[in-house]
Structure 1
Amino acid sequence: MIERNLLIGNGINIEFSGNDDYKNYKIIERLTQNICTNKYYDVFQGTLNQDDLKKMIILLNEEFNKIAETGKISSTWLKTKSDCQTLMEILARYHGESQNILSIGMEDYFFIMRLLNNSVGNTDDTMETLFQGLRYLFLDAIYNNGEIETLYEKMNCYKKELLKYKNIFTINYDANIDKLTNKRIFHLHGSFNVLDDTYRPETIIGYLALQNHSLKVIPKLKHIYCNGIMGYSGEYKMERMERYSSGNMAINKLMHLSDQEREQYYTQLKSSTKESDIYVAKVIKACLAHPELKYNEYPIKQFENINGELHIIGMSPNNDSHIFKMINENPHISNIVYFSANDDDTKNIQKVINKTVQIRNIFKYWKSLIA
């Protein structure tokens, strides 16, 4: 019997919400409403106020429109091949037209922030700090005061269908499918219910953060400190997903070294003037003192190892190129079924997946569940 696997995107939340709450424009609308309050004062520890946050979103919108309208940008703003590719995709997607704040894709805001960061020569560390702040705002807007986590109550008609799949993967942060099926769901981009390693003292990063007294989670906003990944390109997201897996591989390799080799490596890193080397030295010291410390990995291997049939529901072909790359590189996927919402998605999915794809109408599919 052929193994059946399912990959779910945000379209399922849009369908079962019965309204527009989880469409792009509505999420950004909530973000703009949230930043008009003092909700995030403690999150940013007073370094940014509501006026600063409003100015930031307006600036990103203005810069986006300058680029979209002219198609011109200084080469110094583009540092990598991925930057050039992402820019070309954005220019094609928006057809050179200016957009209001609500009509720009969420993750395109991260790309404009990256370009601005490149233009002033900020370091990667500075960019990550800026990304983290923007990520907090978007995660909170998606969370919708917890309303998103109640959608499973409207999904009973979908339960029987979901139980037909051996493995279910999602790029959503909510746990609705987890609650509905009572089975393990693989969250490729993280989950609102899982804190990032930075805030988990049982992980390497969290342990080191605790030593520096930098662990701080605001209970009523706990969800923004989750391990949810957001970014401007598939390449960026994949790098984030692989970071913790690579960390665990490096630790395992370290533990197989002789005591003398480890000591030499540790001494070399500790005496370095590079902050990255000094941090790795701290990681080595922590692992030797507490061998149980690890990184909390994203379920990349589980997704890469699926075989048989893969159904894709509620996921746009215009984002998450890293997911489609893993699908293309898996020779054990024998059949792909994509549930399409429109002709553009039908056309584009066959551009990003280089295997034979069966197309089914998503609206007919939803209707069949309640028939």
Structure 2
Amino acid sequence: MNKALLIGNGFTLNLNNEYSNSRMMEKFRKRIPNLINRAEEEFKLYRNCSFTLSDLYNVSEALFCGNDLLCGGNLYTSSDRIYISEAAKSWVIEKLSIQGFNDPELIFTEYFENYGLIYSINKDEILGVETYLKVISLFKEIGKFNENEYAEIKIVAYEVYYNEGKHGKSSIRNNEIDVGKLASTLSEYVDIYTTNYDTILDDFLEEQNRFPFHLHGGFSTNHRNKDPDGRYDPKNARLIWGINAEQKFEELKVGFDFGDIDYSAFRYGQSRLADYFDFLKERQYDEIHILGYSGENDAHINQRIKENAHIKNIILFVDPTIITDLETQVRSRILYGGDNKPVNIKSWNDFWDPIKK
């Protein structure tokens, strides 16, 4: 059986807790405290920490999925989505009006619905680099931030995720994991895709004379037309950030760019990174396994899985406490399976327990 693996940050987090969201955000805030504090202060108006998840949206209305999800910014399909509650929508639109946005309904749809900012209004702080990018982009609309400040977020993100160079196999800190067993497990997959920037997978797969497909670049490549070929510092590595799926794919897909000419990687047409998306859509996998990957903000990846006619089964490894949740069931179908692909939800312990010492 040919099977592929798609890995997100949850994989790296289990191996090295330096990559936990809280630790990354702590480092991030220390680098640019003034910018972060301004973003937090502007977004504070929209917060209502009394909202529960069921107050924000209703998953029971999204039990069936169509095939109209494109590689645009929508987190869910246009006809079948997790519906945002009227109470949450009214709350946000009122605040947008107070802050002087010209078309609060349109801004709500773009930023809070399509880009997923609605999932931040019941949190007591902004979580994640891309969420900061969304917030700053939102307030750029009314002149609260500028393009240089948006770019600064990306620059600092490079430095933080570089983790002082401790981002490879030698940085594994989970003493329960048998690295030999992990290597053996990874060897069972014909291809491995990842949204991670670290080089843990690179180190393992180099021992097998292959490399992971970094869908958003990483510290093992310095150009979007190159396969992983080294280890690069924050100034030279190529990482893709964005506020939605469309923006990220637009940044990575073009092979030729006057602003990024490297004649050792000269290429017309689409980029090498874009080739990886074609692989995900076209290669003959019987199954794809998904671990540590939420699928949010990555419709350009999810859609390739849905469009791959060869994939007959999807295994999604999740937190064992949420396997039976209706939200988990609905999200998994909408994001990955569509109408034709069964999504089998399993505990992430089914992946990790066999590779413990």
TM-score (norm 2): 0.69
Task: Point out the more displaced range, 153-162 or 301-310.
Answer: 153-162
Which amino acid is 2:46 matched to? I
Structure 2: distance between partners of 1:6 and 1:15: 16
The 5 A counterparts of 1:284-295 are 293-294=266-267
C-alpha deviation, 1:240, in angstroms: 1.7
The 5 A counterparts of 1:107-256 are 107-120=130-143, 127=147, 129-149=148-168, 150-151=170-171, 155-182=179-206, 183-196=210-223, 222-242=233-253, 244-245=254-255, 247=256
C-alpha deviation, 1:31, in angstroms: 1.5
8 Å Cα contact 1:152-1:180 kept in structure 2: no
8 Å Cα contact 1:156-1:180 kept in structure 2: no
Structure 2: distance between partners of 1:369 and 1:63: 45
Task: Point out the more displaced range, 60-69 or 343-352.
Answer: 343-352
C-alpha deviation, 1:350, in angstroms: 2.6
Structure 2, gaps ≥5 residues long: 49-90
Decide which of 276, 287, 310 is 1:309's aligned counterpart: 287
Structure 1: distance between partners of 2:40 and 2:3: 42
Structure 2: distance between partners of 1:292 and 1:195: 10
Structure 1: distance between partners of 2:265 and 2:128: 41
8 Å Cα contact 2:277-2:304 kept in structure 1: no
8 Å Cα contact 2:315-2:344 kept in structure 1: yes
Which amino acid is 2:346 matched to? R
Structure 1: distance between partners of 2:34 and 2:232: 23
1:169-203 C-alpha deviation (Å, 9 max, x unpaired): 11111111121122221100001122246xx9x9x
Bigger Rg, structure 1 or 2: 1
Which amino acid is 1:157 matched to? K
Q: Could you say what secondary structure the match of 1:231 adopts?
A: coil
Runs of 4 or more consecutive aligned structure 1 residues displaced over 6 Å after TM superposition: none
Decide which of 26, 31, 36 is 1:29's aligned counterpart: 26
C-alpha deviation, 1:221, in angstroms: 8.7
Task: Point out the more displaced range, 342-351 or 172-181.
Answer: 342-351
Question: Greater helix percent: which structure?
Answer: 1
Q: Could you say what secondary structure the match of 1:235 adopts?
A: helix
Structure 2 CA distance for partners of 1:359 and 1:83, relative to 1, 3 Å:
same
Q: Could you say what secondary structure the match of 1:131 adopts?
A: helix
C-alpha deviation, 1:23, in angstroms: 1.5
Structure 1, gaps ≥5 residues long: 36-52, 203-219, 249-278
1:314-367 C-alpha deviation (Å, 9 max, x unpaired): 111434222112211222211111111141573322332212101111024211
2:41 corresponds to which residue?
Answer: 62
Structure 2 CA distance for partners of 1:97 and 1:356, relative to 1, 3 Å:
same
8 Å Cα contact 1:241-1:300 kept in structure 2: no
Decide which of 328, 333, 346 is 1:360's aligned counterpart: 346
Structure 2: distance between partners of 1:196 and 1:145: 21
8 Å Cα contact 1:10-1:171 kept in structure 2: yes
Structure 2 CA distance for partners of 1:291 and 1:175, relative to 1, 3 Å:
closer
Q: Could you say what secondary structure the match of 2:234 adopts?
A: helix
2:59 corresponds to which residue?
Answer: none
Structure 2: distance between partners of 1:224 and 1:358: 41
8 Å Cα contact 2:245-2:300 kept in structure 1: yes
Pair 1:323-2:320 in alignment: no
1:259 corresponds to which residue?
Answer: none
1:13 corresponds to which residue?
Answer: 12
Aligned residues: 283
Structure 2 CA distance for partners of 1:367 and 1:98, relative to 1, 3 Å:
closer
Structure 2 CA distance for partners of 1:121 and 1:113, relative to 1, 3 Å:
closer
Structure 1: distance between partners of 2:154 and 2:29: 14
Structure 2: distance between partners of 1:121 and 1:27: 25
